[in-house]
A and B are shown apart, each in its own frame.
Chain A
Amino acid sequence: MTALEFRNVTKRYRVRGAQPILALDDVSFTLRERQTIALVGQSGSGKSTIAKILTQLETPTSGQVLLDGKPIPTRGRGLRAYRQQLRMVFQDPFASLNPYHSIRYHLERPLRLDDVVPAAETDAEVRRLLERVRLDADAVIDRRPHELSGGQRQRVAIARALASRPKLLVADEPVSMLDVSIRVGVLNLLAELQRDEGLGVLYITHDLATARHFSDEIMVLHHGRVVEQGAADDVILTPQHEYTRALRAASPDPEKHFASAPGIPDVRTANGGAA
C-alpha cells in the first residue's frame, strides 16, 4: 500500500531585501492509496508549495517527505521513478497542453518515457486512455489542444497523468477554469478513476463545496500552517477553527441565503456578513 508522508515540513522562501517568507510551517500529513484529501485555503496559504514539494519542483527547508517510509529521491533515476508514481493535473488546461502538438503526442510521450507498454502497443494504449476519460478517441486523437473545449482538454490532461499508471495524483484546482456545468462531470470522472484505479488523490482547491463532496478528508491551510484537518463533512458542517468558519461564511451558499427571511438578496446580510 503506497503512502506518502509529509513529516514536519517547513519551507522558507528567501526574498531579496526582505524577511524570508514562511510558506509552510511544520506541515505533517499522510496521503494513502484509495484516499482523497482536499487541501483548502486562500491564495498564498501554501497550497501550491505543498504540490511543488510533492512533485520535487521545490525541496523543503526542513522536514521530510517519505514514500512508504523512505525519503523520496531528489535526483536521477530514483526521482524519475518517484514521479512515475505521482502525477499532477494542473489548473489551466489551456496552458498545460502544448499547442504545437497533437493529443496523440501528449499521451505517447509519458508512455514512451516511462516504458509503460511495448512500442507496438502505444497506439492502442493511447486510445484506451482516451476512452478511459470518456473522450471519443477517433475524434480527438489527431487534434490539437485548441480544437478541443476546456473540459475536453482537462480530460486529456487527466489521461496524460494516468498514462504512467501512478499511485498518487495531485490535482491543483483541476476544475476552477472550467464552466460550472462541466465541472461536475470532470470531478465525477476523477472520482471514478480514483475508485477504479485505487488512486490517492490530493485535491487542491479553494472551493469548499466541491472539497466537501469530493474528498474523504479536508485539510485547511492558513499562512502555511494546517489549522484544521478531519473528515470532510465534519470540517465543513461543524468547523472548529475560526479561519475555517471564515472560509465557509465567505463561500456562496444559496441554501443558507434563502433560508433567511424573505427579502431582496443582499450580500451584506447573506451568510452573516463577510469574514
Chain B
Amino acid sequence: MTHALHPRALAKANPMPDPLLTVRDFSVEYDVTPPVKAVKNVSLELQRGEILGLAGESGCGKTTLAYGVQRLLRAPAVITGGDVVFHDAKGADIDVNTLDADEMQRFRWDKISMVFQGAMNALNPVATIGAQLDDVFLVHRPDMGRAERRRECEELLEIVKVGRDRYRSYPHELSGGMRQRVMIAMALALRPQLMVMDEPTTALDVLVQRDILQQISELRHEFGFSVIFITHDLPLLLEISDRIAIMREGEIVELGTSRDIWERPRHDYTKKLLSSFPRLTGAKGVLAR
C-alpha cells in the first residue's frame, strides 16, 4: 500500500467539510455550429471519501462535466471558463487548469483515475490483463522493478477478487463482471484520491451489479478515495451515493444528500426523474397497465 487510509477519509466520520475537489463556474462548450453549451457555470465541492452521484438523462452534460474536470475532453469540446482545484492529501492545492502536459500526465491516474463505461471495450483484447495492469506501473512508477510490479498487479487482482491466477488471462476469457473488476483494479492501482466511474455497472445483470457496488463501497472505506459516480439509473444511485447532483441541460438543478433527494426533492425536474422509474415494491404509479 502506498499510503494508508487517510484519517479524514470517511465523510461519515467527519461531517466537517474537507473538500478534495472544488469546481467553480465550470463551463464547457462544444465548438460546432451552432455551439452547444454542454456544461454551464457548474460549481460544486466534492468531499474527501464521499461518493457523489451525477444523474440526469443522456445529453445533460454529466459525462462532459466528469471528463472536463480532468481535462480529458478533446476538440470540439472547449473549456470556456471556471477553475478546478484539487486539494491533494499531501497538502498542496493543484489548479488543474494550469498544469502543463507533463504535469497533467503525472496527475492523471495518480490522483484521479477512471472506470470507464463498458469494460468490454475499455480493455485491449490482444493483451493479457496482467500486461495491461503492468503498464500502469511501468508508466507511472518507472522506479519499480519487474518483480515488484508483478507483485502489485497480483495483489490488485486479489483485492478486487478476480484472483492472481487470472494474471495471464485475456479479457475475452473473463465474464463481464470480472472484466469490470479488472477495470476497478486498474483504477485503484496507484491509490488515487478520486475515482470517476462512468456507468460502471450498466451492462451487468442485477446480481453481478450488486456485487460490484458492494465492492466499490468496501474499497472506498478501505482506501478512502472519493467517487464521482455517473449513471442514469437513479434507484441505484440513491443507494450508493452520499450526495447526488441532478443535472439538466448542462446545469446542476439540485444537489443534496441521497435521502433528501428521495424524500424531499425540491426541483420539479428531480421530481419528474424520480417518478420516471417504476418502483420495485412500491405502488404501481408510472407504468400504466
Residues of chain A whose beta carbon lies under 8 Å from any beta carbon of chain B: 42-43, 150, 179-184, 187-188, 191-192, 206-210, 212-214, 236-237, 246-258, 262, 264-268, 270-271, 273-275
Report yes or no: B278 in contact with A252, Cβ–Cβ below 8 A.
no
CA distance A271 to B281 in the complex (A): 12
Q: Which residues of chain B from 231 to 289 have any CB-CB distance to chain A below 8 Å in the complex?
A: 232-236, 238-242, 258-259, 262-263, 272-273, 276-282, 284-289
Within 8 Å of chain A (Cβ to Cβ): is B3?
no
Report yes or no: A265 in contact with B210, Cβ–Cβ below 8 A.
no
Contact A270:B239 (CB < 8 A) given known A43-B208, A258-B259, A264-B11: yes
Which residues in A have their C-beta under 8 angstroms from that of B213? 267
Which residue of the partner chain A has the closest CB to B56?
Answer: A181
Which residues in B have their C-beta under 8 angstroms from that of A256? 280-281
Report yes or no: A208 in contact with B206, Cβ–Cβ below 8 A.
yes
CA distance A267 to B229 in the complex (A): 14
CA distance A56 to B32 in the complex (A): 47
CA distance A179 to B233 in the complex (A): 8
Which residues in B have their C-beta under 8 angstroms from that of A214? 278, 287, 289
CB-CB contacts of B191-206 with A at 8 A, as 1s and 0s? 0000000000000111
Contact A42:B205 (CB < 8 A) given known A184-B278, A252-B235: yes
Report yes or no: A265 in contact with B206, Cβ–Cβ below 8 A.
no
Q: Looking at the complex, which one of B207, B233, B238 makes contact with A265 (CB distance below 8 Å)?
A: B238
Return A117 CB to nearest CB of chain B, in Å. Answer: 30
Which residues in B have their C-beta under 8 angstroms from that of A181? 57, 232, 272-273, 276
CA distance A213 to B289 in the complex (A): 7
Report yes or no: B205 in contact with A43, Cβ–Cβ below 8 A.
yes
Q: Looking at the complex, which one of A187, A257, A273 makes contact with B239 (CB distance below 8 Å)?
A: A257
Q: Looking at the complex, which one of B211, B236, B280 makes contact with A212 (CB distance below 8 Å)?
A: B280
Which residues in A have their C-beta under 8 angstroms from that of B272? 181
**Chain B interface extent, by class:** 35 or more
Report yes or no: A255 in contact with B263, Cβ–Cβ below 8 A.
no
Return A160 CB to nearest CB of chain B, in Å. Answer: 23
Which residues in A have their C-beta under 8 angstroms from that of B98? none
Which residues in B have their C-beta under 8 angstroms from that of A236? 280-281
Within 8 Å of chain A (Cβ to Cβ): is B82?
no
Within 8 Å of chain A (Cβ to Cβ): is B217?
yes
* Contact sample, A vs B, 26 pairs, CB 8 Å cutoff: A42-B205, A42-B208, A43-B176, A180-B234, A180-B277, A207-B206, A209-B279, A209-B280, A213-B278, A213-B285, A214-B289, A236-B280, A247-B207, A250-B207, A251-B280, A252-B233, A253-B235, A254-B239, A257-B239, A258-B238, A264-B11, A265-B239, A265-B241, A267-B239, A274-B207, A275-B210
Which residues in B have their C-beta under 8 angstroms from that of A255? 279-282
Report yes or no: A213 in contact with B287, Cβ–Cβ below 8 A.
yes
CA distance A214 to B174 in the complex (A): 33
Within 8 Å of chain A (Cβ to Cβ): is B58?
yes
Which residues in B have their C-beta under 8 angstroms from that of A268? 214, 217-218
Contact A250:B280 (CB < 8 A) given known A179-B232, A181-B273, A268-B214: no
Return A271 CB to nearest CB of chain B, in Å. Answer: 8
Report yes or no: B273 in contact with A250, Cβ–Cβ below 8 A.
no
Report yes or no: A209 in contact with B277, Cβ–Cβ below 8 A.
yes
Report yes or no: A248 in contact with B276, Cβ–Cβ below 8 A.
no
Report yes or no: A250 in contact with B209, Cβ–Cβ below 8 A.
yes
Q: Looking at the complex, which one of B176, B208, B276, B282 makes contact with A184 (CB distance below 8 Å)?
A: B276
Q: Looking at the complex, which one of B234, B241, B282, B288 makes contact with A191 (CB distance below 8 Å)?
A: B288
Report yes or no: A262 in contact with B236, Cβ–Cβ below 8 A.
no
CA distance A231 to B287 in the complex (A): 17
Which residues in B have their C-beta under 8 angstroms from that of A42? 205-208
CA distance A118 to B106 in the complex (A): 67
CA distance A42 to B176 in the complex (A): 12
CA distance A184 to B57 in the complex (A): 13
Which residues in B have their C-beta under 8 angstroms from that of A182? 57
Report yes or no: A179 in contact with B280, Cβ–Cβ below 8 A.
no
Report yes or no: B232 in contact with A180, Cβ–Cβ below 8 A.
yes
Report yes or no: B214 in contact with A267, Cβ–Cβ below 8 A.
yes
Interface centre among A206, A213, A256 (most CB of B within 10 A): A213
Which residues in A have their C-beta under 8 angstroms from that of B281? 236-237, 253, 255-256
Within 8 Å of chain A (Cβ to Cβ): is B90?
no
Q: Looking at the complex, which one of A187, A247, A275 makes contact with B287 (CB distance below 8 Å)?
A: A187
Report yes or no: A265 in contact with B242, Cβ–Cβ below 8 A.
yes
Return B237 CB to nearest CB of chain A, in Å. Answer: 8
Report yes or no: A265 in contact with B240, Cβ–Cβ below 8 A.
yes
Q: Looking at the complex, which one of A179, A237, A267, A275 makes contact with B240 (CB distance below 8 Å)?
A: A267
Return B150 CB to nearest CB of chain A, in Å. Answer: 31
Which residues in A have their C-beta under 8 angstroms from that of B288? 188, 191-192
CA distance A266 to B263 in the complex (A): 17
Q: Looking at the complex, which one of A207, A237, A266, A275 makes contact with B207 (CB distance below 8 Å)?
A: A275
Contact A179:B239 (CB < 8 A) given known A184-B278, A264-B12: no
CA distance A253 to B282 in the complex (A): 9
Interface centre among A187, A207, A257, A267 (most CB of B within 10 A): A267
